[in-house]
Amino acid sequence: MTAAGATTVRARVRAELTQEIKDTARRQMAEVGSSALSLRAVAREVGMVSSAVYRYFPSRDALLTALIIDAYESLAEVAEEAATDKRGGVTARWLRVTRAIRRWAQANPHDYALIYGSPVPGYRAPEDTVPPALRVSLVALDLLRDGVASGEVAANDSSTVPRPVHVDLERARDQFAPDVPDHVLSRGLMVWTQMFGTISFELFGHLHNVIHDYDAFFDHQMRQAGRLLVSGIAD
Amino acid sequence: MTAAGATTVRARVRAELTQEIKDTARRQMAEVGSSALSLRAVAREVGMVSSAVYRYFPSRDALLTALIIDAYESLAEVAEEAATDKRGGVTARWLRVTRAIRRWAQANPHDYALIYGSPVPGYRAPEDTVPPALRVSLVALDLLRDGVASGEVAANDSSTVPRPVHVDLERARDQFAPDVPDHVLSRGLMVWTQMFGTISFELFGHLHNVIHDYDAFFDHQMRQAGRLLVSGIAD
DNA sequence: TGTACATCAGTGAACGCGCGTTCACTGATGTAC
DNA sequence: TGTACATCAGTGAACGCGCGTTCACTGATGTAC
């Protein structure tokens, strides 16, 4: 007998196993990379026969999609958490958020590569991945909004943005960042791409033999980026 | 009989076939991605038996290495070519160079992903890939040197860089960019990571539904970056 | 120039492996009365 | 509370496929004299 609203034993076990499959897949992906992720290997480790996995995920791609969504959600959580501490204004928060993102990337390099590295060949991300991906970006956009609202980020600026760029920025503003002017959005995109570029360079080995103190380098870069963000001046 | 200095028929055919194998591998990689690159499939297309490829490349990884090196060289050539046109000073040259790099990335997205995307799982790049990779960065470093030499980039600046960052920058300066002060090198790294971040975002789909006119967006971003590079002020 | 030998390219079969997915099935859990 | 039936999880075998690499071999090209 099952009380209304309560989950049945079967449903609970199902949820647990679904999670266990995802966890195992994530750990294996950390060893072999996303493109070599194998349903059979996951099944083996979970202790079931390979065909049984199909009760939980209809295909390998569906499992990959679940991992991608989880990765975005996990990163978004970390970034949101870092953004809640509002002391020190935009520059301080920017530094906290970007540090948190980098820390997450270092702790979960394969998850990072999965979502911000080269796309998995042969895999086409479905629309389900859009909202969790957006959640990450919203942290930065909210930061901009707060900065503009508090006046820390100067909202009136003579500099204009080329027409086609303005059109795109306007659409973004209407949807996600009301009151944030073009040039602030534009600077936001600058530092945002810069941050991911820096993390990718670090994680993918492009600063090897150049930078040795990665922590100091990242902090310095992001401090400059933060200054750029609020004032348009980097150093 | 073989005249001294002249290449034997065998050597010429060997060089041609080596090239053909690489070309085929590159084209296949563009279809299936680097991690799914298969020696057997390449051999099939070239029209030889799979084991014969081992006369040319001792392993799949060796073939991958050759592709990586070729990709760096090809990009370096494009970037160097773009940098030769010195009209308009640093900002104009910066724009030309970054446009050329982006154009190359768009024309060869899988080569781009191969060298600037997530590393191929299970593959460890040997030291041979360092010089060609460096060649690309040298284009940017030379631009900085020229800018400092001509006075377009202000070399004296009160702002200092944290000690550990300074140590790393000094080493880089000694090796590749004499006379370029810390804060200029630091800004150089900012715009350099930003450029790769922007290209990666565009190519890997992270600006999907946000930016529609990618050309205009990239130009605008790189114009700002160029201004930042010479003056420390973005807009 | 001509011959004898060494080098090398390419063949074809084989080793041992792993993969995603389908399918008919058994047995356990859940539901309706 | 007890029984009959429906739903679902997991099994095990199979399909058809591709992979990297090794090895003994044939036959062509290159070299030394």
- Please give the structure tokens belonging to residue A207: 């600063």
pLDDT, mean over chain B: 93
Contact A190, B224 (CB under 8 A): yes
List, in order, residues 6 or more apart from A200 with CB less than 8 Å away: A116, A117, A206, B116, B196, B197, B200
Q: Decide if A206 and B167 are in contact by the 8 Å CB cutoff.
A: no
Residue A153 to residue A227: CA distance in whole angstroms: 10
Q: Which of B118, B186, B235 sits opposite A232 (nearest CB)?
A: B235
Q: B32-45, pLDDT tens digit by residue?
A: 888 889 999 999 99
B35 CB near a chain A CB, below 8 Å? yes
Average pLDDT of the residues in A142-151:
96
Identify which has the larger pLDDT, A235 or A81: A81
A62 CB near a chain B CB, below 8 Å? no
Q: Is the pLDDT at B175 greater than 60, yes or no?
A: yes
Nearest by Cα to A113 from B24, B219, B35: B35
Q: B117-156, pLDDT tens digit by residue?
A: 998 877 888 899 999 999 999 999 999 999 999 999 987 7
DSSP labels for A180-212?
Answer: --HHHHHHHHHHHHHHHHHHHHHHTTTTTTT-S
CA B10 to chain centre: 33
Residue B132 to residue B135: CA distance in whole angstroms: 5
Give chain A positions within 8 Å (CB) of B172: 210
Q: Which residue is nearest to nucleotide D30 (CA to C1')?
A: B1
Give chain A positions within 8 Å (CB) of B167: 212-213
Residue B82 to residue B131: CA distance in whole angstroms: 20
Give me the residues paired with residue B233 across strands: A233
- Would you call B212 helix, strand, or coil by DSSP? coil
B164 CB near a chain A CB, below 8 Å? yes
Q: Decide if B216 and A130 are in contact by the 8 Å CB cutoff.
A: no
Average pLDDT of the residues in B219-227:
97
Length of chain B: 235
Residue B200 to residue B145: CA distance in whole angstroms: 27
State how far residue A81 is from chain B, nearest Cα, in angstroms. Answer: 22
CB interface of B with A, residues 180-199, below 8 Å? 183, 186-187, 189-190, 192-198
Q: A183-220, pLDDT tens digit by residue?
A: 999 999 999 999 999 999 999 999 999 999 999 999 99
Q: Which residue of B has its CA nearest to A129?
A: B206
pLDDT confidence bin for B194, thresholds 50/70/90 = very high
- E runs forming strands in chain B: none
- E runs forming strands in chain A: none
Contact A35, B121 (CB under 8 A): yes
B173 CB near a chain A CB, below 8 Å? no
Q: Decide if A232 and B232 are in contact by the 8 Å CB cutoff.
A: no
At which residue do the structure tokens 């509002």 appear? A86
Q: Which residue of A has its CA nearest to B35?
A: A35
- Please give the structure tokens belonging to residue A172: 């973004």
Nucleotides of D under 7 A from a protein CB: 1, 8-14, 18-24, 29-31
Q: B52-102, pLDDT tens digit by residue?
A: 999 999 999 999 999 999 999 999 999 999 999 999 999 999 999 999 999
Q: Decide if A235 and B198 are in contact by the 8 Å CB cutoff.
A: no
Neighbours of A87 (CB within 10 A): 7
B126 CB near a chain A CB, below 8 Å? no
Nearest by Cα to A73 from A65, A84, A85: A65
Round to a whole number and report the distance in Å from the CA of A26 to the C1' of C1: 71
- Would you call B161 helix, strand, or coil by DSSP? coil
pLDDT confidence bin for B6, thresholds 50/70/90 = low
Contact A212, A192 (CB under 8 A): no
- Please give the structure tokens belonging to residue B58: 């001792």
Q: Is the pLDDT at A234 greater than 60, yes or no?
A: yes
Question: What H or E segment, with its residue span, contains residue B13?
Answer: helix B9-32
Nearest by Cα to B186 from A25, A211, A105, A174: A211
Round to a whole number and report the distance in Å from the CA of B42 to the C1' of C11: 17
pLDDT, mean over chain A: 93
